[in-house]
Chains A and B, each alone.
Chain A
Amino acid sequence: MISRRSFCKKSLLIAGGLAIPLSCLELFDPKRLLAEKDDTGARWVFLVDTRKCVGCGFCVKGCKVENEVPYDANVTRTWVERYIVTKDGKTHIDSPKGARDGFPNKGIDIGHGRLEEIKDDDIEKAFFVPKLCNQCDNPPCVQVCPVGATYQTADGVVLVDRSWCIGCGYCIMGCPYGVRFFHPVFHVAEKCNFCYHRITKGMQTACVDSCAFGARRVGNLRDPEDPVTRVIMTERVNVLKEEYGTKPQVFYLGLSKEVK
């Protein structure tokens, strides 16, 4: 015979015990997993034409000012690399201060304030490659963020929640493109976000507006009439490190095999 006291105790215990896993389930409601799959908005992408870039670095300057990245700190959301391939088959690459001040001389910056001079006649080919966050479709930086501070919006842009980031640096390690860094003022992970405050207002990104040569363009991949989408669909575009499976959404025209 079960006593009333022990019946009450046991049923309370079982009810309580069941309530806990149930409240856990509430946190992982599968219906919210399917949350409005919004395919109607934009999917922001970027197009870089390396043949047009002249390495003036106005994009880097504009980006730093627009996005409040301290001007003199050696970090930047976007940067421009110079590639010089010489006739002996060597590739020389530099990006002094991310090309914040452009490339004011012919010498290649080899660090410690020293320049390596390359004779004009030795140059096989030379060009500039602007780089920025690829807003990957499979962003590893988001997967490794333990707290959900780095996330991807429905329109494809990867954002960092400054008040939620704990500064663990996993995303900085996880990004195969090395586009992430610690913001020297906010002390949280920082990256290019395609000037989210501008593109969502119908404007261009600051780097696109600063570029007088049309080397940078931003577009909406879900709009078949978008001129950038047209180029991506019909011309021979390339992405960086495709083999990583991150599905980068920054497309390059005129990319050369020396560019990694």
Chain B
Amino acid sequence: MKSHVWRPLVVVLVVIALVLVARKFLVPADFGVGARGYMYGWHRAGNEQQWKDVKVKYKTAAFCKDCHPDKYDEMKESPHRNINCENCHGPALNHPDDPRSLTIDRSRELCARCHTRLPYPNSGRGVMKGIDPTTHNVGLDCVTCHWPHDPRKEGHKR
């Protein structure tokens, strides 16, 4: 091993060995190739489960129905039937355990998302009932006159 030709080779081999050892410790055990091969599936398998475990926040109207069947039924009969409760009431999150976690939005702006009239003939928006929010009862919440669960009924009179 005295030869000056061999010495750099040994250094290189040692470096490679060190890198491989370090890699063994740094790379998680489940890092490898998934079903889509090296090009697309080179990953940490445990991460798939981590994404699946993310908490669901919006629970859908089917969840609200169990405790509020009257509200649910009223909605289902109304022109607003396709709107999920949580669009206005906020995500169910920990409700009913923590009723305060609901963030109910009664603002004019919420209704205006759909009911500001925009004259767009080629989209669903063109056929929606709309108003001009700059002239239609400015300053009042829509729910004063219109009942959101069934817009054909009267709203909360103050």
Give the interface of A toward B (CB within 8 A): 9, 16-17, 20, 23-24, 32-33, 35-38, 50-58, 62, 65-67, 84, 101-106, 120, 123, 125-128, 139, 142-143, 148-149, 151-154, 159, 161, 163-164, 193, 196-198, 200-201, 203-204, 206, 209-210, 212-215
Contact = CB atoms under 8 A, between A and B. Distances in A.
A32 B32 contact: yes
B135 interface: no
B112 interface: yes
B87 A148 contact: no
Contacts of A197: 51-56
Interface stretch (B40-48, B65-73, B137-145, B148-156): B40-48
A149 B43 contact: yes
B33 A164 contact: no
Interface residues of B, number: 55
B146 interface: no
B120 to A, nearest CB: 4
Interface in B114-141: 114, 116, 118-126, 128, 133
Instruction: List the 6 closest pairs (A to B, CB-CB), nearest first.
Output: A151-B43, A102-B113, A154-B35, A126-B120, A197-B54, A212-B82
Contacts, number: 174
Nearest to B49: A200
Contacts of B50: 161
Contacts of A203: 56, 60
Interface of A is mostly: loop
Contact of A102 (B17, B35, B38, B114): B114
Interface string B17-47: 1001000000000011111111111111001
Contacts of B47: 151, 159, 161, 163-164
Nearest to B51: A196
A102 to B, nearest CB: 4
Contacts of A154: 34-36, 41
B58 interface: yes
B116 A105 contact: yes
Contact of B37 (A33, A54, A55, A159): A33
Given A54-B114, A206-B58, A151 B40 contact: yes
A83 B82 CA distance: 25
Given A56-B114, A154-B35, A193 B60 contact: no
A161 to B, nearest CB: 4
A127 B122 contact: yes
